[in-house]
Amino acid sequence: MQPGVLLSLVVPFYHVADYFAQLLDSIEAQLTEQVQIVLICDGASDGSLEIARQHIASSVMPECYLLLCQHNSGVSVARNNGITHATGDYIGFVDADDVLLPGYVEAVLQVIQQHQPDLIELGYKRFTDEAAIAQSKARYLHKNSGWLAKDKAVTNVFKINQWFSWLRIYRKKIAMDFQFPAGVAFCEDVMALPDLYLAAQRLYHLRLPLYGYREHQASASFNVKAEHQQQLHKFFTALEQKQAYPALQPKWRHILLLNLAYLLYKLQLDNKSLQSFPALLAQQCKSVVRKSWWLPQFSVRKKIQLAFASYFFNSSRATN
C-alpha cells in the first residue's frame, strides 16, 4: 500500500480513448507520493484500458496508480468502486475526458496541509480545444476565497446549481459511507453531493482555475435518454415528498426543487417527439412554485414558466 497518501483522485473511464492520454499526462506532470490515482475501467473496449496500462508502465511514479477493472456498470458504480479503494485522507473526482490544470495538486495539498477543511471547492475552465484553455474564462462557485460561512456558502451552491463532482474534494472521515446512486448516469452528482454539504462544517474555497472541463458532443450532458429523465423525475418526486434528504434545510430543498423542476421542464421542451406536457409534472411544477415563490434565489421569469408549464410547452410546439 502506498504510504502517506493525503489525496486520492478517483477517475472512472469508459470509451474515452480520444482524450484519455491528455488527462493522464496532466496528472503525471503534477504527481507526488502524497497523491493516489485510482483509475477504474468501466468495461471499456475502445483501447482506453491499454492507454492506462501503458501510461502506468511508463510513469516515473507507477506506485501512485491503482488500476481497477469492472464490468460495464456506469459511472456511479465506478466512482463507488474507486471510493472503496481510495486510501487518501481526502477524495476528489476527475472525469476521464477532462484535464487537471497546472498547479492543481500543489494548491490542493497546500490547503489540506495548512487548513484541513471538511470540503474544498475549486475553480475551473470550460474548453473544447485544449490549445485555447489559457484564454478560457475562469469560473468559480463563490466570489470570496478561503474559509466560507456554511449557511451562506451552501445556499449559494444550491442557487448556482453546478453539481459537478470534480468541483469538490472532501475529507473522507466526514462521510465514510458516501456513495453515488448506482445505475444513474445523468445528474448523479445532484443526487449525491448534498450529502457532503450536510456533513461538512468547515468549507474552503480554493479560488483558482485548477480544473479543465471539456465540452464535446459525446459527453453525458449532451446525451440525455428517456430513462435518465425518468430517474431524475423519480428523484425530484422523492425530494418533493421529503423521502430524499429529509434533513435538508427547507430553503435548500426549495431551491433544489425549483432548479430540478426547471431542468425537467427544459428536457420536455427539447424532446421533439413529445406532443403534450406530462400532467403529473405540470402539477408538481405548479406546486413547487406556489411553495417557493418567495425565494429570491430563483428568477421570476422561470417561476412563471414553471407555474404555467403546459401553456408555455404548447406555445412552443405551436410556433415550431
**What pLDDT sits at residue 219?**
57
My answer on whether 53 and 161 are in the same domain is: yes
In a domain, 1, yes or no: no
183 lies in the same domain as 279 = no
* Separation of alpha carbons 212 and 230, rounded Å: 30
Q: What is the CATH number of the domain that holds 137?
A: 3.90.550.10
The rounded percent of the chain whose pLDDT value lies above 70 is 97
Q: 201, 220, 239: which is the final residue of a domain?
A: 220
Domain that holds residue 308: 224-319
12 pLDDT tier (thresholds 50, 70, 90): very high
Determine the Cα–Cα distance for residues 238 and 184; give it in Å rounded to an integer.
Answer: 15
Helix residue ranges per DSSP H, the chain: 20-28, 48-58, 75-85, 104-115, 150-160, 188-192, 194-199, 226-240, 250-270, 279-292, 300-307, 309-319
SS3 201: coil
Task: Report d(CA 188, CA 211) in Å as an integer.
Answer: 20
On whether residue 308 sits in a domain, the answer given is yes
Does some domain include residue 43? yes
Query: Long-range contacts for 132-136 (Cβ within 8 Å, ≥24 apart)?
Result: 133/99, 133/101, 133/212
Do 205 and 239 lie in one domain? The reply is no
Residue 302, pLDDT above cutoff 90:
yes
17 and 151 in a single domain? The answer is yes
With respect to residue 2, please indicate whether it lies within any of the assigned structural domains.
Answer: no
168 falls within a domain: yes
Q: Mean pLDDT over residues 277-301, rounded? A: 93
Residues 71 and 194 in one domain: yes
Identify whether residues 53 and 190 lie together within a single domain.
yes
Q: Report the distance separating Cα 233 and Cα 288, nearest Å.
A: 14
247 and 171 in a common domain: no
Residue 90 in domain:
yes
Residue 235 lies inside a defined structural domain of this protein: yes
State whether 48 and 195 are in the same domain. yes
Average pLDDT over residues 205-212: 98
Residue 225 has pLDDT above 90, yes or no: no
- Write down which residue in 220, 248, 271 finishes a domain: 220
Instruction: State the average pLDDT for the chain.
Output: 94
Task: Count how many domains the chain has.
Answer: 2
Domain boundary at 202, 220, 238, which?
A: 220
What's the average model confidence in pLDDT over 272-290? 94
Check whether residue 229 and residue 182 sit in a common domain: no
pLDDT at 111 over 80: yes
Please indicate, yes or no, whether residues 235 and 128 belong to a single structural domain of this protein. Answer: no
Let me know whether 204 and 245 are in one domain.
no
Q: Span 198-210, mean pLDDT?
A: 98
pLDDT-wise least confident of 178-192, 218-232, 284-298: 218-232
Residue 199 burial (CB count, 10 A): 17
Domain identity same for 255 and 119: no
